A and B are shown apart, each in its own frame.
Chain A
Amino acid sequence: MSDESVDPLGQGGPPPPPPAAAGAVRGARRPRPPRPYARRLAERALRAGSTVTAIVPLGALVAMIVVLLVEALPAIRYNGWHFLTGSTWSQGSYYSPPVRTNGILHPAGATYGAWPLILGTIETSAIAIAIGFPIAFGAAIFIVEKLPKRLAGVVGLCLELLAGIPSVVIGLWGVLTLGPLLARDVYPLLAHLPNVPVLNIFRGYVGSGEGLLTSGIVLAAMIIPIIAATTRDLLRQVPEATREGAEALGMTGAEVFRTVQLRWIRTGVIGAVILGLGRALGETIAVALVSGSVISAATNIYGTMTTIAATIVSLLDSAQGDPTGLATRSLSEAALVLLGMTLIVNIGARMLVRRSARGAALPVGVGF
């Protein structure tokens, strides 16, 4: 990159004289003309190198989809649509000889129904958004509108930290500190909420603190920085003059927000929420720690359950015991479903965000 021989200015020599004086200096201090061959080589290397590296992400994306498809194909043929609707996940008996169905060799009695995993993935993400969005949105408003600049910087560090804390650490906190505390002090109170629609989902056996609601709360902590940082950056882009105009009309802060800022940032915030959703759908380690890792749908909002991502992590070890390989292939199919869900969500979010906040900086911790 710093090949001195192609430096048109010479080795740190004087700057090229202005055009007017060029005739006068003829030869004496004139910079050595660059060697065209070396320069062309460097140009070509830079172009070729950067082109190759730019193809890597696309190549990786295609390769991942192809690998998953090829790996999952026998499982897709064996499981059929039942995979999306069935609720039993059983690797079958390894002790009796393998059986052949639809041309696929499998242990006797193997059934793979991923509905509890899919449902758990959607439920935990929905809870995470329901809890995380109001907190992140309110916090972003307060940071931009009320906090002094210095404090806003400190809170910004908090956001980056929350985004940067490894998910395994948040999971550890969830399973050892937060879960037991919630199950002991908070969930029993929630369980006594009045038996009316909406609130009655909180009634029932509260369990040990590992389960659906705890997973949702832990996921909320992980998507808050994404939504809050994006909302904050969007709010800062709202033109001052428009706001001042609304204030000059005598509106209160809340009214100004509703009529000016909200309209300005709406699409971008929806995009940020969907990005957070994508993150929540795919989060693995924290959920594996706090969900209870039981392959069945949660019986109530506190019930133990699992998600697609957490299942892949916790079952891949034992799946290798399947001599026919169907167990790993079914996990591939689950991974494919998860990939499909996150792809749809992410592409949608990015289209929205790009339309509304073109050129905005990368929000803190997207996909951290």
Chain B
Amino acid sequence: MAVSTGTIPGAPAAPSLGRAGVSSRRRAFDLWWWVLSAIGLVLLIVPVVWVLAGVVANAVPNWSWSIFTETTTGIGGGLANTIVGTFVLLVGVGILAGVVGIGAGVFLAEVAPPGRLTGLLRGASEVLSGIPSIVFGYVGYVALVVGLHWGFSLLAALVVLSLLVVPYVAKSTELALGQVPLAYREGGEALGMSKTHVLRRVVLRSAIPGMATGLIFALAISVGETAPLLYTAGFSNDYPSDHLVHAAVPYLTYATFTFWNQPSTAVKALSYDSALLLVFLVLVLILASRLIVRLTQRYSPNRVGGGALPRRRATRRGLTAGALAPLDASAAPAERDGTSAA
């Protein structure tokens, strides 16, 4: 039966031929095979729905909008300080991991000479992404909080969290740069631009969507991390202060991790409230990255006349439409522009 299913749509004679040749034992095995894989799919979807539904079902009955205005008190209150703290951490990680990760990705894709040393740097980045987050947190505690006397602090948390996600930003930057069409670079060089100049003005700009997606994934990881923060950020019932060191930072995952078995029911409810906020934040970030991917596909370099670099923006930034036109497989407009200029 499955001979014809889906894979060769509209193949005329195949089904009857196939059925005639397939013994019932083989057909039964085939059916069994697809049923098993379908069960796998169901078992994959069940936990997602279950966890999400469970969080919503437990958070909604005790939901109160005051969690956005009141701070944690230990016996009740809200989550306002942890929300602010999480956003402060997100902004910090976005800047720190963004700069370092994109820089590292640019180096690996564009600047680095191919060779063993570059392979070592790339390998180190990949290995770093496999190290458990608790090891990051522990080293951060030993080296930064205690060793450098920073205390539980924003800076220690930011350094640890950024190092944790830098490999993802670097990897997606490298991949995005690798996907920029060769024609863009050749076009730039044909205009007499130096390699670095092409990189800065053309290549980097068309890789922005890929880099942004990587950065968003990094933020989604940061939102949900607990282990690296417990002993670097600490926790406080106040809003995060403007001190980089010696001031603990409250954050959402701490509330989820520690409030669920507190005696006070008001605090217990906060545990689920924070879980709901976390899931919501992650969902928003995932949808944002999907939106970027979808918008980018509209400007996919595979589409004639499109290009990852939107034409309008290119014109505004000084690269005229004429300069890009040869890349669009139609050289005529460029020639016309050239003659009119003359």
Name A57's contact: one of B5, B38, B170 (CB within 8 Å): B170
Q: Is A76 an interface residue (CB 8 A)?
A: no
**Known contacts A137-B40, A169-B278, A309-B227: A21-B131 contact under CB 8 Å:** no
Chain A facing B: main interface SS: helix
- Interface size, B (range): 35 or more
- B130–A312 CB distance below 8 A: no
Bound form: Cα–Cα A29–B339 in Å: 12
Chain B residues in 8 Å Cβ range of A21: 338-339, 341-342
**In A153-208, which residues have CB < 8 Å from any B CB?**
155, 157-162, 164-173, 175-178
- A141–B40 CB distance below 8 A: yes
- B106–A141 CB distance below 8 A: no
Interface centre among B227, B275, B323 (most CB of A within 10 A): B227
**Known contacts A56-B100, A255-B30: A46-B111 contact under CB 8 Å:** yes
**Known contacts A14-B320, A64-B135, A67-B139: A52-B103 contact under CB 8 Å:** yes
**In A326-344, which residues have CB < 8 Å from any B CB?**
328, 331-332, 335, 338-339, 342-343
Q: Is B260 an interface residue (CB 8 A)?
A: yes
**Known contacts A2-B317, A138-B39, A168-B253: A53-B107 contact under CB 8 Å:** yes
Residues of B within 8 A of A (CB): 1-3, 5-8, 14, 17-18, 21-22, 26-27, 29-30, 33-34, 36-41, 43-45, 47-48, 50-52, 54-55, 58, 99-104, 106-108, 110-112, 120-121, 123-136, 138-139, 141-143, 147, 163, 166-168, 170-172, 175, 191-194, 196-197, 199-201, 204, 220-221, 223-227, 230-231, 253, 256-257, 260, 271-272, 275, 278-279, 282-283, 285-286, 290, 315-320, 322-323, 334-335, 337-339, 341-342
Q: Closest B-chain residue to A46, C-beta based?
A: B196
Chain B residues in 8 Å Cβ range of A18: 334-335, 338
Chain A residues in 8 Å Cβ range of B204: 1
- A160–B286 CB distance below 8 A: yes
- B22–A168 CB distance below 8 A: no
Bound form: Cα–Cα A342–B116 in Å: 23
Chain B facing A: main interface SS: helix
Bound form: Cα–Cα A165–B53 in Å: 13
**In A200-247, which residues have CB < 8 Å from any B CB?**
221, 224, 228, 243-244, 247
Chain A residues in 8 Å Cβ range of B8: 244, 247
- B3–A166 CB distance below 8 A: no
- B194–A43 CB distance below 8 A: yes
Return B322 CB to nearest CB of chain A, in Å.
4
Name A54's contact: one of B17, B37, B41, B107 (CB within 8 Å): B107
Supplied contacts A169-B51, A178-B50, A316-B138, 14 more A-B pairs, CB within 8 Å:
A9-B191, A47-B111, A50-B103, A60-B128, A61-B131, A138-B39, A140-B40, A155-B41, A157-B290, A169-B256, A177-B54, A224-B44, A253-B33, A255-B30
- B175–A361 CB distance below 8 A: yes
- A168–B257 CB distance below 8 A: yes
Chain B residues in 8 Å Cβ range of A278: 130
Chain B residues in 8 Å Cβ range of A7: 201, 318
**Known contacts A9-B323, A170-B51, A316-B138: A136-B30 contact under CB 8 Å:** no
Return A119 CB to nearest CB of chain B, in Å.
17
Name A17's contact: one of B166, B283, B342 (CB within 8 Å): B342
Return B62 CB to nearest CB of chain A, in Å.
14
Bound form: Cα–Cα A15–B318 in Å: 9
- B199–A143 CB distance below 8 A: no
Bound form: Cα–Cα A345–B100 in Å: 26
Chain B residues in 8 Å Cβ range of A68: 135, 138-139, 142
Bound form: Cα–Cα A346–B135 in Å: 15
Q: Closest B-chain residue to A311, C-beta based?
A: B134
Interface string of A1-26 (1 = CB under 8 A from B): 11010111111111111100100110
List of 3 A-B pairs having minimum Cβ-Cβ separation, nearest first: A138-B40, A282-B132, A166-B224
- B199–A46 CB distance below 8 A: yes
- B134–A54 CB distance below 8 A: no
- B6–A168 CB distance below 8 A: no
Return A147 CB to nearest CB of chain B, in Å.
8
- B134–A282 CB distance below 8 A: yes
- A289–B55 CB distance below 8 A: no
Name A138's contact: one of B2, B41, B45 (CB within 8 Å): B41
Name B17's contact: one of A165, A224, A250, A313 (CB within 8 Å): A250
Chain B residues in 8 Å Cβ range of A251: 3
Bound form: Cα–Cα A257–B33 in Å: 10
Chain B residues in 8 Å Cβ range of A14: 320, 322, 337, 341
Bound form: Cα–Cα A76–B126 in Å: 28
Chain B residues in 8 Å Cβ range of A25: 341-342
Bound form: Cα–Cα A175–B338 in Å: 70
Residues of A within 8 A of B (CB): 1-2, 4, 6-18, 21, 24-25, 29, 39, 42-43, 46-47, 49-58, 60-61, 63-64, 67-68, 71, 134-143, 145-147, 155, 157-162, 164-173, 175-178, 221, 224, 228, 243-244, 247, 250-255, 257, 275, 278-279, 281-285, 289, 309, 312-313, 316, 328, 331-332, 335, 338-339, 342-343, 345-347, 349-350, 361-362, 366-368
- B29–A58 CB distance below 8 A: no
Bound form: Cα–Cα A251–B275 in Å: 49
Chain A residues in 8 Å Cβ range of B199: 46
Bound form: Cα–Cα A25–B8 in Å: 60
**Known contacts A50-B107, A138-B39, A284-B132: A331-B323 contact under CB 8 Å:** no
**Known contacts A139-B41, A172-B260, A362-B168: A343-B127 contact under CB 8 Å:** yes
Chain A residues in 8 Å Cβ range of B34: 142, 146, 253-254
Return A263 CB to nearest CB of chain B, in Å.
16
- B257–A289 CB distance below 8 A: yes
Bound form: Cα–Cα A368–B260 in Å: 23
Bound form: Cα–Cα A18–B192 in Å: 12
Return A91 CB to nearest CB of chain B, in Å.
17
Bound form: Cα–Cα A137–B191 in Å: 50
- B230–A313 CB distance below 8 A: yes
Q: Closest B-chain residue to A64, C-beta based?
A: B139
- A285–B257 CB distance below 8 A: yes
Bound form: Cα–Cα A9–B7 in Å: 52
